[in-house]
Structure 1
Amino acid sequence: MLKEFQQHINSHLPLLKDAKLLIAVSGGIDSVVLTHLCIKSGLNIALAHCNFNLRGDESDADEDFVVKLAEMLDLEIFVEGFDTKMYAETNKRSIQMAARELRYNWFSDLARQLHFSYVLTAHHADDNLETFLINFTRGTGIEGLTGIPEINDTFVRPLLPFSNQQILDYASEKDILWRNDSSNRSTKYLRNKLRHDVIPILKEINPSLLQSFQKTLQNLSDSQQIINDAMGMFLDQAIVHKTQKETTYKVEAFKKTSNPKAYLYETFKNFGFTQWDDILNLLTAQPGKYVISGTHRLIKDRENLILTENDFNRPVTDFIEVLDMSATLKIPVGNLAFSEVETIDAESKDKCIYVDKGLLRSPLTIRQKKQGDVFAPIGMKGKKKKLSKYYKDEKFSLVDKENTWLFCSGDQIVWVIGKRADERFKITDKTKHILKIEFIQ
């Protein structure tokens, strides 16, 4: 196996040869064998071990074993203990998901802080088959059937081509010791049930199951690449505009496809959505309808779909009172800076206005649109306009409206912040005090 491992590194993972590597070591056979293979291959490695404190003395014994392994092999080691049950309860996660998040977050932090190029994990071909079956039984798209990626950002899995049996044979041949995790024998977890009850039957039916499975994965990966290429061309046509906070797509682009639901799935599958029939219905829904996921919102707006993040931390407020016009005021979409000036800067930015301070009346507030709002857009010679009509004429999207705030003097709008000032408060020859207001995002 050592020769095959080295050939695989040379052919497919040469990036590991001169890199600083961190190996995630549980003490089990897979990660211990990976450690020995890396040493025999002359790779520059250190070890990292997570103690999840879920199995009492057994967890502590695993930690002791890995520490002694590092000492025996003269390797640097990092150990971290976690209160996994507390994390799971606090973050409403299953124990397995909590442990996964804790270890991957810690590995990533460790790699970043100590400048490790990659983190190696010991996933192998049997793990890949189990993951495939788990995704298959739960329902997934083609991306869920393409297996565990060999390289995923800083995480690399060099044992993926090798079976559990090959790893076991190598450990036996080299008299390598490892720790057995008693929880791996319990079939209350889906992965273990597949490992102990289902996969042995599949291997009995087809002794070459893993080899056949690898061919299937390759075929699925090839098909996924075709989909990715097609989606790239589709999105070039479908996306109207994209900013850091939102992306706008043409509804008509989806309607023109042979299978709109499939294109919607491929476009939005990575944003936490599961209600695909509801998303399909957005194509013909009235403006204002939306579908939400745990992280995003997809809104129907005229002839477009707008994807935006859910801002759960945004403060819910009806208005903000302006009490000090000599400082910077934080508002939900940025900051307003107030300053009294002597003259107007002709080269001021678009998101800056000058008003006659003497015309302002208390209370001064920052608020959003309310029913019946009107203002006199500067340049229209005092003519008033419904704010709703202004929004419509300027083609504000629903998200634009949500993120637009008004600076008001009493009931009068002084400024549609960042957009249009009101004629009634402009500077004239009679102005004695000029107030500069700048919107800073």
Structure 2
Amino acid sequence: MLLQLQNHLSQNLPFLQDKKLLLAVSGGVDSMVLTHLFKALNYNIAIAHCNFNLRGEESDGDENFIKNYAQDNDIEIFVTHFNTVSFAEDAKLSIQMAARQLRYAWFQELIQEKGFDYLLTAHHLDDSIETFLINFTRGTGLEGLTGIPQQNDIIIRPLLSFTRAEIESYAEENNIKWREDSSNVSDKYMRNKLRHDIIPVLKSMNTDFNGSFKETLQHLQQAQSLVEDASVLVYKQVVTEVEGQKHINIEQLLRLPNYQAYLYQWLKPFGFTAWNDIYKLPNAQSGKQVNTDEYRLLKNRENLILEPLQQQDSNVYKIEEGQSDIATPIQLHFQKTTIVPEKSSKNEIFVNNELIKFPLFVRKWREGDYFYPFGMNGKKKKVSKFFKDEKMSLSEKENTWLLCSGNNIIWIIGRRADERYKVTENTTQILKIELL
């Protein structure tokens, strides 16, 4: 096994040589063999051990066992303790998920503080089989059937090509001691039930089940790679990125033979799970949306718009008389002038300063707001109707600010001024207001 690993590392993970490696070590046979192998191959390693305080004296026994091993073998060791049960309750997570979050957050801190290059874990082929079956049972996309990846950024799993039996056999042949985790016997966890009840039946049906599964994984990983390549190519044709948003052109999307598969590939990194709702969105009414905790997918007229969710600002910002500039919530510049150009941009207005009552206010629009659009000869219009006529998306409406004098709207900023404050031939005081 040592020679097999050495060949595997030189062919597939040569960049680990001469790097500073942090090994996640629980004390079980897998992580103890991982540590033994990398020490035997003279890699620069250190041990990280988490005591989750879940098994009382047994957890403390694991910690002491690993400390003694590190001392006997002159390996640097880092140990931390977690109140896993309390964290799981506060975060409303299962014990397993809580432990996972705690340990990887700590590993990341160690890596940054101590300058490690990579984190190595002892996942092996049987772990990959179990992960495949868990995902298959719960329902998943193709990527969920590709097993555990050999590398995720700085996390490396060098033992994925070896079985649990091979690892245990190597430990026995080389007199490597390890600790048995009593929780591995319990079938209350899905992974253990698969390990004890389901996988032995599959292996009884195929004596080379591990070899067949490894070959199947390779085919699935190749298929996933093809899917990702196709997804990137089509993405460039269908999606445009605009000021932090991703605009998915609906017409081009619906021309694709299986547009749902592309939506899944593009949107899965953003935490979406309501896939049936997402697949219906291209044919839904404008304004329909599907949200995650951090992102929104919004149906606009011609596009599906993916954008981060923003906290809506309900504040009202005051502008005192004589102020020339404000920076919050947007940048506005105020300047008295005597000249009104024949043509002005949408980012500036010229108003009759005598009609304005200070302080002015900047705020978001509210239901029931109305104004008298410039150029419409004094006709009153609801702001909501103006937005609709302008064919503004929901996100555009949410990001639009109003400049007000008392209860009157002077300017839908960047969109349309109010007729009541326009400059006429009788105006003697002109105020230029510019959106920077």
**Common topology (TM > 0.5):** yes
- Name 2:69's counterpart in structure 1: 69
What's the offset of the Cα at 1:77?
1.5
CA contact (8 A) 2:272 2:291 kept: yes
1:290 equivalent in alignment to 2:292:
no
| Distance (whole Å) between structure 2 residues aligned to residue 437 and residue 98 of structure 1 | 52
TM-score by length of 2: 0.87
What secondary structure sits across from 1:291 in the alignment?
A: strand
What secondary structure sits across from 1:175 in the alignment?
A: coil
CA contact (8 A) 1:327 1:337 kept: no
What secondary structure sits across from 1:335 in the alignment?
A: coil
- Name 1:89's counterpart in structure 2: 89
What secondary structure sits across from 1:307 in the alignment?
A: strand
| Distance (whole Å) between structure 1 residues aligned to residue 329 and residue 224 of structure 2 | 45
CA contact (8 A) 2:84 2:99 kept: yes
CA contact (8 A) 2:320 2:359 kept: no
TM-score by length of 1: 0.86
CA contact (8 A) 2:34 2:122 kept: yes
What's the offset of the Cα at 1:357?
6.3
| Distance (whole Å) between structure 2 residues aligned to residue 63 and residue 427 of structure 1 | 80
Shift of the 324–28 alpha-carbon distance from structure 1 to 2, 3 Å rule, reads farther
- Tell which deviates more after alignment, 140-149 or 259-268: 259-268
What's the offset of the Cα at 1:425?
5.7
1:335 equivalent in alignment to 2:329:
yes
- Name 1:404's counterpart in structure 2: 400
1:279 equivalent in alignment to 2:273:
no
CA contact (8 A) 2:326 2:333 kept: no
Letter in 2 for 1:361: K
What's the offset of the Cα at 1:97?
0.6
- Name 1:268's counterpart in structure 2: 267
CA contact (8 A) 1:328 1:335 kept: no
Letter in 2 for 1:9: L
Identity of aligned pairs, percent? Answer: 47
CA contact (8 A) 2:337 2:432 kept: no
Structure-to-structure mapping, 1:126-145, within 5 angstroms: 126-145=126-145
CA contact (8 A) 1:19 1:44 kept: yes
Provide structure 2 residue ranges, at least 5 long, that are not aligned to the other structure.
Answer: none
- Name 1:191's counterpart in structure 2: 191
Structure-to-structure mapping, 1:215-254, within 5 angstroms: 215-244=215-244, 246-254=245-253
CA contact (8 A) 1:321 1:363 kept: no
- Name 2:254's counterpart in structure 1: 255
| Distance (whole Å) between structure 2 residues aligned to residue 267 and residue 198 of structure 1 | 34
| Distance (whole Å) between structure 1 residues aligned to residue 348 and residue 26 of structure 2 | 58
Deviation per CA, 1:164-209, whole angstroms, max 9, x where unpaired?
A: 1111111111111111111111110000111111112212221211
- Name 1:164's counterpart in structure 2: 164
| Distance (whole Å) between structure 1 residues aligned to residue 411 and residue 120 of structure 2 | 56
What's the offset of the Cα at 1:109?
2.1
What's the offset of the Cα at 1:416?
3.1
CA contact (8 A) 1:239 1:248 kept: yes
Provide structure 1 residue ranges, at least 5 long, that are not aligned to the other structure.
Answer: none
Shift of the 89–437 alpha-carbon distance from structure 1 to 2, 3 Å rule, reads farther
- Name 1:46's counterpart in structure 2: 46
CA contact (8 A) 2:371 2:418 kept: no
What secondary structure sits across from 2:329 in the alignment?
A: strand
Alignment RMSD: 3.1
Letter in 1 for 2:288: K
CA contact (8 A) 2:348 2:432 kept: no
How many residues get paired?
Answer: 427
- Name 1:413's counterpart in structure 2: 409
CA contact (8 A) 1:19 1:117 kept: yes
Deviation per CA, 1:348-398, whole angstroms, max 9, x where unpaired?
A: x99687877665325633222533522545xx5987784456545654321
| Distance (whole Å) between structure 2 residues aligned to residue 353 and residue 10 of structure 1 | 68
